[in-house]
Amino acid sequence: MTGETFQVILIVFLFMLGTAATLAEAAVITVNNSGRGNYTLIQEAVNNAQNGDTILVSPGIYRENIKVNKELTILSYPPLSDSQINRTYIIAEVPDNAVFSISSGNVTINGFYIVGVPSGKDIHGKAGLYLEGVRNCSLNNNTVILTDPGIILRNSQDNYLNGNLVSLSNEGITLDNSGENILSKNLVMKNKQGISLNNSFNNTIVNNTASSNEVGMLLRISQGNKLAYNLILKNEHGIRGQAARSNLFTNNNLYLNGIGVYLSDSSNNSFYENEFINFLNAIDEGNNVWNSSSAGNFWNNYTGADADGNGILDNQYVINQTSGVIDYMPMANRISSSNSSDALSANGNTLLVLFNKMYPVKPSSTLKKGVVVETTELEQINLSLMEGPVFLRLGAEWCGACQSMKPILAELAAEYGENVTIMSINMNKNIQLATYFDVGYIPDSTVIMGIENGEYIYMQQDGNITTDRVRARIVGLENKEVYENVLKHALAYEEKRKSR
């Protein structure tokens, strides 16, 4: 062996040894605010960590503003606990600073409950998760409430946001001058703006839910983005485009928004195979394309003939007569798939398909004597309504009054379970439904009679029905007779309805 060959082998061996040593040095650091971990504060763990380390944060309440400037994985541990007392909360110590401020690439933040603190006259603190100039970061399964914005990416690329809940912010999730990011399965509810793209490009927004915001999804001076398979419902504006160019919108479901899509100063955006069921479906003040070469969109306010049976209506759907904006290939059938097609007319039950893509359930009878059905899915409530009224109780494990109500629920199920589904939702397991039903105090009980024109119909204590759940709900723990009285009204109403 020559000396030169030996030197090459030695250099390769030393490089491999150095790599192994680097991998071996990656550490797992624990944080526990009771003192049973390596550190009591998350920031202390970050300060003492090395690139590639993992920080496990035990459940508890941490009042911190955390700056992450290293390549770290920071996990709530155990992740995704169903128990409210076994969660990892981070509350901003300084309201004017972000709760998490991330300036390094390759950072993962998973499973935290992040809460802002009112800042001066503003009801919101600063950002829950603030990322600037980063790549390859992952934000997963975090709940962000009362921060502004909830999550913001600024000058950042190739990041992943998956399964986060953002609520009660001015801006829910914001991409600012950012590109090539992927947002999937996030839920943005009750914000001024749900998901906002500002001067951002080539992002993928897929399988998200935007509900009860002023604007569900906003694109401002943004181009080349793809929005697909999103559920956009009960917003004032579902999708708002301002100087948006060459974006693709396909297979989105826009339900019960004031305006489904509103485009101003926007051009060359493409819309096809979307489903529109809104008070006003679309306003296009620009020059955009509303069909592909094979299909347009489904419009609930438009019917016509399909003589050749190809699924495309024979007549065009005019969006803006003045500027000649037209869907040349409007679809004859709804895009959403459902086994309950008879119950899903354009003027009927739109709620049956709202969450079945995200929360599928197997249809089965829930009318069982003596059984209280525990559910985490809106779809299961809707399927149960096809069999009869649903008595719905929302509560939580930590609620003493809710625990005291359990024997009453069991008795109601034993006496009325063959005609009424007695159903319970544990808010700890599904904060989305608690937000959807606007729960402020528990236990919270109502009797749902059915769905008409996309809205739940409730039975009031006086025997009248209403679409206003506030008027129909029974808040707090009551005697069994109070619940029975409403159930009797519900069954009498059902009997009268069937006899017509």
Mind listing the pLDDT tens digit for each residue in 197-238? 999 999 999 999 999 999 999 999 999 999 999 999 999 999
Judgement on whether residues 268 and 387 belong to the same structural domain of the protein: no
Q: Tell me: pLDDT of 330 over 60.
A: yes
Query: What tens digit of pLDDT does each residue of 145-188 get?
Result: 989 899 999 999 999 999 999 998 999 999 999 999 999 999 99
**Least confident window among 2-11, 96-105, 405-414, 484-493:** 2-11
**Assigned domain for 116 exists:** yes
Judgement on whether residues 462 and 396 belong to the same structural domain of the protein: yes
| Average pLDDT of the residues in 293-318 | 89
Q: Tell me: pLDDT of 299 over 60.
A: yes
Q: Tell me: pLDDT of 12 over 60.
A: no
- The residue out of 327, 359, 391 marking a domain boundary is 327
Beta bridge partners of 61: 89
**Assigned domain for 2 exists:** no
Phi, psi of 363 (to 5 degrees): -65, 125
Query: What tens digit of pLDDT does each residue of 377-417 get?
Result: 777 787 788 888 999 999 887 778 888 999 999 999 999 98
Q: CA 244, CA 178: separation in Å to the nearest integer?
A: 15
Judgement on whether residues 222 and 149 belong to the same structural domain of the protein: yes
CATH number of the domain within which 378 lies: 3.40.30.10
Q: Tell me: pLDDT of 445 over 50.
A: yes
Q: Structural domain tally of the chain?
A: 2
Tokens of 89: 């909360």
**Assigned domain for 59 exists:** yes
CA angle 368-373-379, nearest 5°? Answer: 110
Phi-psi region of 202 (alpha: psi -120 to 50; beta: other; left: phi over 0): left
Burial 19-40 (b: 16+ CB within 10 A, else e): eeeeeeeeeebebbbeeebbbe
The continuous run of DSSP H or E covering 465 comes out as strand 465-466
Burial 194-217 (b: 16+ CB within 10 A, else e): bbbbbebbebebbbbbbbbbbbbb
**Least confident window among 89-98, 322-331, 416-425, 435-444:** 435-444
Judgement on whether residues 241 and 351 belong to the same structural domain of the protein: no
**Assigned domain for 395 exists:** yes
pLDDT grade for 85, boundaries at 50, 70 and 90: low
Residues composing the chain = 500
Q: What pLDDT, on the 0 to 100 scale, is given for residue 77?
A: 83
| Average pLDDT of the residues in 26-37 | 91
**Assigned domain for 334 exists:** no
Given the structure tokens 């009112």, which residue do they identify?
Answer: 118
Q: Tell me: pLDDT of 114 over 70.
A: yes
Judgement on whether residues 304 and 367 belong to the same structural domain of the protein: no
* 140 in Cβ contact with 119 (< 8 Å): no
Instruction: Tell me how far CA of residue 297 lies from CA of 165, 208, 258, 339, 344, in angstroms.
Output: 29, 19, 18, 21, 17
Tokens of 32: 């526990």
Judgement on whether residues 395 and 311 belong to the same structural domain of the protein: no
Q: Tell me: pLDDT of 7 over 80.
A: no
Q: What pLDDT, on the 0 to 100 scale, is given for residue 500?
A: 67
Judgement on whether residues 56 and 181 belong to the same structural domain of the protein: yes
Phi, psi of 384 (to 5 degrees): -65, -35
Q: Tell me: pLDDT of 452 over 90.
A: no
Strands (E), 179-255: 182-184, 187-189, 193-198, 204-206, 209-211, 215-220, 226-228, 231-233, 237-242, 248-250, 253-255
**Assigned domain for 5 exists:** no
Q: What pLDDT, on the 0 to 100 scale, is given for residue 20?
A: 44
Query: What tens digit of pLDDT does each residue of 46-83 get?
Result: 999 999 999 999 999 999 999 999 999 999 987 544 44
Q: What pLDDT, on the 0 to 100 scale, is given for residue 146?
A: 87
Judgement on whether residues 350 and 323 belong to the same structural domain of the protein: no
Tokens of 16: 């491999």
Judgement on whether residues 294 and 150 belong to the same structural domain of the protein: yes
The continuous run of DSSP H or E covering 149 comes out as none
**Assigned domain for 12 exists:** no
- The residues near 187 (Cβ < 8 Å, ≥ 6 apart) are 164, 165, 166, 208, 209, 211, 432
Judgement on whether residues 157 and 230 belong to the same structural domain of the protein: yes
pLDDT grade for 455, boundaries at 50, 70 and 90: confident
Q: Tell me: pLDDT of 259 over 90.
A: yes
pLDDT grade for 348, boundaries at 50, 70 and 90: very low
Q: CA 378, CA 208: separation in Å to the nearest integer?
A: 16
- 79: domain range? 23-327
| Average pLDDT of the residues in 30-55 | 95
Beta bridge partners of 143: 113, 165
Tokens of 59: 């459940």
pLDDT grade for 363, boundaries at 50, 70 and 90: very low
Judgement on whether residues 151 and 250 belong to the same structural domain of the protein: yes
Q: What percent of the chain has pLDDT over 70?
A: 83
**Assigned domain for 101 exists:** yes
pLDDT grade for 118, boundaries at 50, 70 and 90: low
CATH number of the domain within which 91 lies: 2.160.20.10
Judgement on whether residues 39 and 97 belong to the same structural domain of the protein: yes
* 264 in Cβ contact with 288 (< 8 Å): no
